[in-house]
Chain A
Amino acid sequence: MNTDSNENYNKRLESSVFDPLNHTSKGYYGFLLVLLAIIAWGGFAYITQLRYGLIVTGLNEVTLWGVYIVNFIFFIGISYAGTLVSAVLRLTGAGWRTPITRMAEVIAVVGVMIGGLMPVIDLGRPDRISNLLVFGRLESPLVWDIIAITTYLIACLIYLYLPLIPDLAIMRDNLEGRFSPGRRKFYTFLAAGWENTPEQKRSLEKGMRIMSIIIIPIAIFVHTVVAYIFAMTLRPGWNSTIYGPYFVFGAVFSGIAAILIVMAIFRKIFHLEEFITERHFRNLSYLLMTLLFFYAYFTFSEYLTIGYKVEVAEKELLTQLMIGKSAGWFWSFIIGGLLVPAFLIVFRKLRVIPRVVAASVFVIVGMWIKRFVIVLGTLQVPLMPFEFGVYKPTWVEISVSLAALAGFTLLFALFPKIFPIISVWEVSEEEHHEQPTPVDIPAKNIPRIFGRFKRGVKKNVL
């Protein structure tokens, strides 16, 4: 009986996941076209910027970094979903993570790609980018950034590729007739001759175990060096010793929110309700809550330690943030980015998925605002006895930022059309491990929270 339902489950999983590889609805194409249009408009805006220089943006000598750098931190931060879900949860043996690992790894790769592109867009002379390779200096935080992001991108790509191999083998073997020969050759090439033999499984396990261990320090390193671009300067607000961990925790925080949103969207579009269940949302919401607490703790200690002493420059910064020019942004982050999501997660009267996804949306927007406050709040504090600077993003910056977001979404939309969006073999394997022994264990005796993935009970499926 159980093996039967097991097989049915696997069949349903495969059909849900492999169907989109061939069948694309008109609406989907329409959506892709809209994204392409936004990207094209952003490209036009960038060409304008190349022609006239950065004068078309709202940047000036005082606010010398703007929306581009905020986006840079934002997208690199979002990529931490991959590290957390794939690597950390794997090391801690959380079996429930298996349906969402693929999405998380894709977020990691795409986030790093788009994020790494933003500083290039921000450069005054992108035609001289080869100078970074030829004349690069180890003493500069930007070069640390380049090294760290390159290393992290390679690590994420490898970590995306490894679990893809068995799935590609499934596609190569079981779905013969559905693909064109060229496409099939592509899958065969990437599948690296996977035959599901024990030695191959051992090699794969070894590879994945090593990657999951090493990707965690790499990820911590990456966002720490992103923080060091700011922390290595002598400006109020940035001249802080805890900027490294502050940014890392912020990244994991926004990463969890991102994976929650992506989960919800794909679940809706590809009808994955049976595989990505309330359990996933609930567990991730607990993680989100934990990280919210950590991030609030870091933010609080940052502002308390400078607010207690009230040095000259920091006094200016705090006045501006709390009651001055940037007060609107700052308080909307505190309320909308911290308090409202906390309330939504803790208040359990409503249904899980809508409230957790709503909390994630608040968190993502709030974290973008917080990074805006971090970058521009400090820049707007005058260091010499003169006027403040004002920053107003222009259409160029807004278009390019929207195009970056569209690019992120586009790569995400294309991925399920090429590769399966759920790691089929991992879910099946987890199923297999969770296969109850011939003795039937009554449903109510199996612990619900953070426990064994309980399946076969209709109640879980929404």
Chain B
Amino acid sequence: MKKDLSRRDFLKMSGGVVGAAIITSSLFTALNRFKTRGPTYQSTGKSLSRWCMIIDLRKCQGLLRCTQACINLHFVPKPQKWIEVYKPETAKGGRYFMPTPCFHCENAPCVKVCPVKATYHNEEGLVLVDHDRCIGCRQCMAACPYQRRFFNWGTPKLPPEGVFAKYSPDFPVPAKKGTVIKCIMCSHLLKEGKLPGCVRGCPNGVIYLGDYNKDMASNSQEVVQLSKFLNDNHAYRYKEEMGTQPRVWYLPGHGESFGGIYAQGPKGLKSLVWPESGV
């Protein structure tokens, strides 16, 4: 009559197994610690900036140069528009133009819900995506109340300089299939001391890039003091009541600077050209 394991033996054995399991799991976790997430921000010793953006709606004519500049700079896959110019209605029935990049919210809902921390805040406050870690669950896209995140449903067809670019979360080129992608506020340019593509691309100087630390903002044509600029022009943030604390401010307006309270239509607008179509 064979006896089963005695209680002591059983406890010893299970203790051993659980201990082995814990050790292997810890080793596994520890080894993965050294898996880098791509080039991290190299501190240049200068004071860190905290970026923000101001968009002056009085000057926007809906030319879409910002969108095109962004597409050209980052080989944005069709049909994504990382900065999109919406056309909200005015009370009198016309439309005005509202360029909308990713707001890089301080209380970002996308960062909160990511199950693997593939989307994160970098030291300068921008919300970036690590495309080597993203599993493509799209929970962040569902959580974003501004619909500013896009998904690479397939493999984008890019020209050679796009395909062979060196990938980093600050410059997500080439876009990887099955991951989420969005506006990065040209973090790669900011590190080099250059203004983002949309800021430079706008001929009317609508978009300003600001720094909370330096209290300055620039639209490549002039520099203003950030706090004064926001205060004097009654800046607001879009859907402030959601509590996301976005970093992009809007100066209210309906295109006054080029005449008329509301826009009659975009002038000089060509349709957008994506890298895979025709390049």
Question: Are any A and B Cβ atoms less than 8 Å apart in their complex?
Answer: yes
* Chain A residues with a Cβ under 8 A of chain B: 52-55, 57, 59-62, 64-65, 119, 122-126, 128-129, 131-132, 134-137, 139-143, 146, 193, 229-230, 232-235, 379, 382-386
Q: How far in angstroms is the closest Cβ of chain B from A305?
A: 18
Tell me if B152 and A140 are in contact (CB < 8 A): no
Would you call A385 and B137 a contact (CB within 8 A)?
A: no
Q: How far is the CB of B166 from chain A (nearest CB, A)?
A: 21
Contact for A140 among B114, B177, B179, CB less than 8 A: B114
Given A55-B153, A385-B89, 4 extra CB contacts under 8 A: A125-B179, A137-B117, A141-B139, A193-B4
Cβ contact within 8 Å between B242 and A123: no
Grouping DSSP codes into helix (H, G, I), strand (E, B) and loop, the A interface class, with mixed when no group exceeds half, is loop
Interface contact A232-B137, CB-CB below 8 Å: no
B242 A139 Cβ-Cβ under 8 A: no
Instruction: Please indicate the chain A residues that have their CB under 8 angstroms from the CB of B178 in the complex.
Output: 53-54, 123-125
Given A124-B151, A128-B133, A384-B146, do A233 and B116 touch, yes or no (CB 8 Å)? no
Check if B138 is an interface residue, CB within 8 A of chain A. Answer: yes
Within 8 A of A (CB), among B137-164: 137-139, 141-143, 145-147, 150-155
- Are A232 and B143 interface neighbours, CB within 8 A? yes
Q: Is B277 an interface residue (CB 8 A)?
A: no
Please tell me if the beta carbons of A137 and B137 are within 8 angstroms of each other in the complex: no
| Contact partners of B244 in chain A: CB under 8 A | 234
Is B100 engaged at the interface, CB distance under 8 Å to the other chain? yes
Q: When the two chains form the complex, which single residue of A52, A53, A234 contacts B145, counting CB atoms closer than 8 Å? A: A234
Checking B29, B80, B136 against A124 with a beta-carbon cut-off of 8 angstroms, the contacting residue is B136
Alpha-carbon distance A16/B118, docked complex (angstroms): 55
Across-interface contacts of A234 in B (CB, < 8 A): 109, 143, 145, 242, 244
Contact A386 B86 (CB under 8 A): yes
Please name all residues of chain B whose beta carbon is closer than 8 Å to the beta carbon of A62 when the two chains form the complex. Answer: 147
Q: Is B94's CB within 8 Å of the partner chain A? A: no
Return the chain B residue nearest A313 by Cβ.
Answer: B145
Given contacts A52-B154, A233-B113, A234-B242, contact A131 B137 (CB under 8 A): no
Chain B positions within 8 Å of A65 at CB level: 138, 142
Chain A hits for B115, CB < 8 A: 132, 136-137, 140, 142-143, 146
Cβ contacts under 8 Å, B177 to chain A = 53, 124
Cα-based distance from A135 to B118 in the complex (angstroms)? 9
The answer to whether A128 and B135 touch across the interface, beta carbons within 8 angstroms, is yes
Could you list 17 A-B pairs, sorted by A, with CB under 8 Å?
A53-B152, A57-B153, A60-B153, A61-B80, A64-B151, A124-B180, A125-B136, A128-B133, A131-B135, A134-B32, A136-B115, A139-B113, A140-B114, A141-B113, A141-B139, A230-B142, A382-B147
Residues of A near B109 (CB, < 8 A) are 233-234
From B32, B142, B143, B177, residue with most partner A Cβ within 10 Å: B142
B55 located at the interface, meaning its Cβ lies under 8 Å from any Cβ of chain A in the complex: no
Give the chain A neighbours of B135 by CB distance below 8 A: 123-126, 128-129, 131-132
Q: Are A123 and B136 in contact (CB under 8 A)?
A: yes
What chain A residues lie within 8 Å of B180 (beta carbons)?
124
- Looking at B4, B88, B117, B146, the one whose CB has the most chain A CB atoms below 10 A away is B117
Residues 230 to 264 of chain B near chain A (Cβ within 8 Å): 242, 244
Residues on B with beta carbons closer than 8 Å to the beta carbon of A61: 80, 141, 147, 150-151
- Lowest 10 A-B CB distances belong to which pairs? A124-B136, A124-B178, A55-B154, A55-B153, A142-B115, A140-B115, A234-B145, A135-B116, A385-B88, A53-B154
Q: Which among B86, B134, B146, B147 is the interface contact of A125 at CB below 8 angstroms? A: B134
> Does the CB pair B116–A131 fall under 8 Å?
yes
A233 and B142 alpha carbons, distance in the complex (Å): 7
Per-residue 0/1 for B5-30: is the Cβ within 8 Å of any A Cβ (1 yes, 0 no)? 00000000000000000000000110
Q: Mark each residue of chain B from 78 to 117: 1 if its CB lies under 8 Å from any CB of chain A, else 0.
A: 0010001011110000000010100000000100111111
Complex-state Cα separation, A57 to B113, whole angstroms: 24
Given A119-B137, A125-B136, A234-B242; A134-B28 close (CB under 8 Å)? yes
Could you tell me the distance between the alpha carbons of A132 and B135 in the complex, rounded to whole angstroms? 8
Q: Look across to chain B and name the residue whose beta carbon is closest to the beta carbon of A134.
A: B32
In Å, the complex CA distance between A59 and B29 comes to: 34
Contacts of A232 in B (CB 8 A): 112-113, 143
Q: How far is the CA of A382 from the CA of B244 in the complex (A)?
A: 18
Whether the Cβ atoms of B88 and A53 lie closer than 8 Å is: no
Q: A135-B133, A232-B143 are in contact. Are A124 and B116 (CB under 8 A)?
A: no
Candidates A123, A124, A135, A383; contact of B117 at CB < 8 Å: A135
Residues on the A chain within 8 Å of B88, using CB: 385
Inter-chain contact B155/A53, CB cutoff 8 Å: yes
CB neighbours (8 Å) of A142 from chain B are 113, 115, 137, 139
Residue in B closest to A60 when the chains form the complex, CB atoms: B153
- Distance (whole angstroms) from the CB of B121 to the closest CB of chain A: 14
Q: How far is the CA of A215 from the CA of B138 in the complex (A)?
A: 30
Q: Are B133 and A131 in contact (CB under 8 A)?
A: yes
> Does the CB pair B136–A54 fall under 8 Å?
yes
Q: Is the CB of B139 within 8 A of A229?
A: yes
Q: A124-B177, A384-B86, A385-B86 are in contact. Are A64 and B116 (CB under 8 A)?
A: no
- The answer for the CA separation of A119 and B137 in the assembled complex, in Å, is 8
Q: Which of B4, B28, B100, B151 has the most CB of A within 10 A?
A: B151
Measured between C-beta atoms, what is the minimum distance from B172 to chain A in Å?
A: 15
In contact, B145 and A235 (Cβ under 8 angstroms): yes
Taking the nearest CB of chain A, how far is it from the CB of B50, in angstroms?
23
Complex contacts, B143 vs chain A, CB 8 Å: 232-234
CB distance from A327 to the nearest CB of B (A): 23
Known: A55-B153, A131-B116, A132-B116. A124 touches B137 (CB 8 A): yes
A350 CB to closest chain B CB, in angstroms?
A: 44
Min CB distance, A268 to chain B, in Å? Answer: 41
Closest B residue to A59 using CB positions: B153
Inter-chain CA distance A131–B155, complex, in Å, is 21
Least CB distance, A154 to chain B, in whole angstroms = 15
- Alpha-carbon gap, A420 to B178, bound state (A): 44
B residues within 8 A CB of A134?
Answer: 28-29, 32
Q: In whole angstroms, how far apart are the Cα atoms of A136 and B180 in the complex?
A: 17
Across-interface contacts of A146 in B (CB, < 8 A): 115
Query: Which chain B residue shows the least CB distance to A122?
Result: B137
A9 to chain B, nearest CB (A): 35
- When distances are taken between beta carbons in the complex, the residues of chain B under 8 Å from A59 are 151, 153
